Amino acid sequence: MDAENPLVTIALAVKNNARTIRDALRSCFEQTYEPKEVIAADGLSTDGTLEELKRWPLRLLLSDEGRGLAYARQLLLEHARGEYILWVDGDHVLPPDFLEKQVAYLKKHPNVGAVEGITYPYDGGLVAFVEGITWTVSAFRRARLGPTLPSAGTAATLYRRKAAVEAGGFDFRFKIAAEDAMITRAMREKGWYFAVNPDAWVYHAARSSWKGLWKEYFWWGYGAFLVRKKYPSTVRPWRFYPPMALASGIVNALRAAKYTGSAASLVIPVHYLYKRTAWTYGYLKAKGSLG
């Protein structure tokens, strides 16, 4: 490994991830890239996640004090010492060379503020698998666009720390989801682009129940309303309304069948209609209460 490699901070923002947190932590410490440090912020977990975090040699273990996801990420951003920050959630498992590939990508593309990888399903049954393969299909599609994307996520995504700081950090109003949508749009205003590296892949244990999926997309829709208030041209809520959701589901089912050959792809139209209805409900709920 090149002695001049920059320090990377692996930053975990987690809450109640007992099912996968041990695998997630192991994959962070088994990264072949050096130098690195691992820090974490726990969201008042009650399922054993915090106890598992304490078993690992983290440089720093913080608490979000119940103030939510964006606050946790901001804490980690402020305490990170690395030039780059790899955001890892408690339900992501990384191959050993993931960080090497992503650092190399950012070195090669100085205008890119953050780079994602290709996400594959990890475990959790039918609901988690179907959700996972839709993310896989989306990642491959976005990867073909090159380093020109207008926004990115946070989970298993490598950020330039200076780009996140220039953007003003995370907005504390985003307590559960969509904090990434706001900060990456602020980063874009500062001139940064985003990308998906097709050569780097990561496992994701998606929500394993319909109830969990509904809750997740509800809060993404809720957060999207806040994003649209500040960046109106970047959020198009009509794309999530039921007719468009069903049409998108059919298109993505065909894409997923091509990529995976799995019969589970047949569930995707119903899956899309369900989760995008949850998103729409969250969006309209925010519109009614925050107007």
Helix axis angle, 179-189 relative to 69-79, nearest 10°? Answer: 50
What's the mean pLDDT in 177-194? 97
Query: CA–CA separation, 258 vs 284, rounded Å?
Result: 34
- Using pLDDT thresholds of 50, 70 and 90, give the confidence band for residue 2: low
Write down all domains in the chain, each with its CATH number in brackets.
Answer: 1-206 (3.90.550.10), 209-291 (no CATH)
Q: Is the pLDDT of residue 103 over 60?
A: yes
DSSP strand pairing (8-14 vs 36-42):
parallel
CB 49 within 8 A of CB 21: yes
Specify the pLDDT at position 123.
78
What's the mean pLDDT in 193-206? 96
Could you tell me the CA-to-CA distances from 28 to 1, 40, 114 in Å, in that order? 17, 11, 18
What's the mean pLDDT in 30-39? 97
What's the mean pLDDT in 146-174? 96
Q: What is the pTM of this model?
A: 0.94
- Using pLDDT thresholds of 50, 70 and 90, give the confidence band for residue 3: low
* DSSP letter for each residue of 13-54: EESS-TTTHHHHHHHHHT---SSEEEEEEE----SSHHHHHT
| pLDDT tens per residue across span 45-90 | 999 999 999 999 999 999 999 999 999 999 999 999 999 999 999 9
CB 203 within 8 A of CB 93: yes
| pLDDT tens per residue across span 260-289 | 888 889 999 999 999 999 999 999 999 999
Mean of per-residue pLDDT scores for the chain: 95
CB 213 within 8 A of CB 275: yes
Q: Which residues contact 180 (CB under 8 A, 6 or more apart)?
A: 151, 152, 153, 154, 155, 157
Q: Rounded to a whole number, what is the largest CA-CA distance in the chain?
A: 54
**HSE on the CB side for 20, CA within 13 Å?**
24
- Using pLDDT thresholds of 50, 70 and 90, give the confidence band for residue 4: confident
Specify the pLDDT at position 138.
93
Specify the pLDDT at position 134.
93
CB 106 within 8 A of CB 115: yes
